[in-house]
């Protein structure tokens, strides 16, 4: 009975946390999304609740979005696009997406960055640094299992990289090139004529979420095969290319009706040095051969855990 009560309490706290993170704005929504993938740091009910932040973020006004598109592209909406929806099809922590059509006829998705994003995130991160320093000073034990300052530094770097849509577009092109011989992997085409640091125009792709198992089965697509394909695609990225999509949450992956797996959102990518790659390959073989001691040493060599 006690554990049920505890679960119920955690679930209520998790909802409170998610709602407050949304209220605090982009930085905290983004942090919540990141923590929502960390079952090793938070209770499961928190992780489940925070995972909903991946695709349930309040949108900003379309008038602001249109104004941003026009100022970024240096032309009117009518000049840039033949048509554009009045409502976004998705809103995320840093931007939102509209469906549109180019004058040449192609259907596209336009990603538009939130207004005043850089200033707001810089301000929030400065406060978080102060908070972490305070906690470290008065509660030194808080750092035993997690290097909070290191995590915030990493977050600071990645979130600013993610705000540069030109960088993201180059990442998408590079990822597409890595998988050019894999017919089954799809990366939306970038329309460079309609892309800037804060506006990104890409091919519009329809599909089913990788986690929507019912819908996949209804389309005669095997979730097990999709899962295997994802694992193979990641092993290739990590162990062969040394360049990987670093944000593989369900909002960034779609299974097309043709059975192709589409990757989106290349704002967060990672690069792996050859040395790190060989260490990861060692770890992979130790997993396959079930060598627990070897794997333990690999995890220490990779700096994932302290000895």
Inter-residue contact 194 to 304 (CB < 8 Å): no
d(CA 284, CA 169): 31
- Count of beta carbons in the 10 Å neighbourhood of residue 145: 11
Q: Annotated catalytic, 282?
A: no
Q: From the candidates 124, 147, 241, 247, which is the catalytic residue?
A: 247
Q: Which residue has the tokens 């792996």?
A: 272
Buried b (16+ CB within 10 A) or exposed e, 7-40: eeeebeebeebbeebbeebbbbbbbbbbbbbeee
d(CA 238, CA 277): 7
Q: What angle do the packed helices 148-162 and 26-35 form, to 10 degrees?
A: 120
> How far is the CA of 145 from the CAs of 10, 14, 132, in angstroms?
21, 21, 14
Element holding 23 (H helix, E strand):
helix 2-24
Q: Which of 261, 251, 254 minimizes the C-alpha distance to 229?
A: 261
Q: Which residues are catalytic?
A: 247
């Amino acid at each position: 009975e006690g554990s049920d009560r505890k679960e119920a309490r955690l679930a209520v706290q998790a909802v409170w946390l998610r709602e407050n993170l949304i209220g605090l704005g982009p930085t905290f929504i983004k942090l919540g999304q990141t923590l929502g993938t960390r079952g090793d740091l938070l209770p499961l009910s928190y992780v489940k609740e925070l995972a909903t932040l991946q695709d349930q973020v309040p949108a900003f006004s379309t008038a602001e979005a249109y104004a941003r598109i026009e100022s970024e592209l240096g032309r009117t909406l009518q000049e840039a696009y033949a048509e554009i929806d009045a409502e976004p099809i998705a809103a995320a922590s840093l931007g939102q997406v509209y469906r549109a059509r180019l004058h040449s006829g192609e259907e596209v998705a336009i990603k538009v960055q939130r207004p005043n994003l850089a200033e707001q995130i810089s301000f929030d991160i400065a406060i978080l640094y102060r908070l972490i320093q305070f906690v470290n000073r008065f509660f030194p034990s808080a750092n035993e299992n997690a290097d909070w300052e290191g995590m915030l530094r990493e977050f600071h770097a990645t979130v600013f990289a993610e705000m540069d849509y030109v960088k993201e577009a180059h990442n998408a092109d590079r990822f597409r090139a890595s998988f050019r011989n894999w017919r089954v992997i799809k990366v939306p085409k970038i329309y460079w004529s309609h892309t800037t640091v804060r506006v990104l125009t890409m091919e519009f792709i329809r599909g089913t979420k990788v986690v929507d198992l019912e819908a996949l089965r209804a389309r005669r697509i095997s979730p097990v095969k999709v899962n295997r394909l994802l694992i193979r695609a990641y092993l290739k990225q990590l162990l062969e290319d040394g360049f990987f999509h670093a944000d593989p949450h369900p909002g960034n992956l779609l299974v097309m009706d043709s059975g192709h797996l589409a990757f989106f959102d290349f704002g967060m990518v990672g690069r792996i040095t050859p040395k790190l790659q060989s260490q990861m390959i060692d770890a992979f073989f130790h997993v396959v051969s079930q060598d627990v001691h070897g794997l333990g040493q690999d995890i220490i060599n990779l700096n994932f855990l302290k000895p």
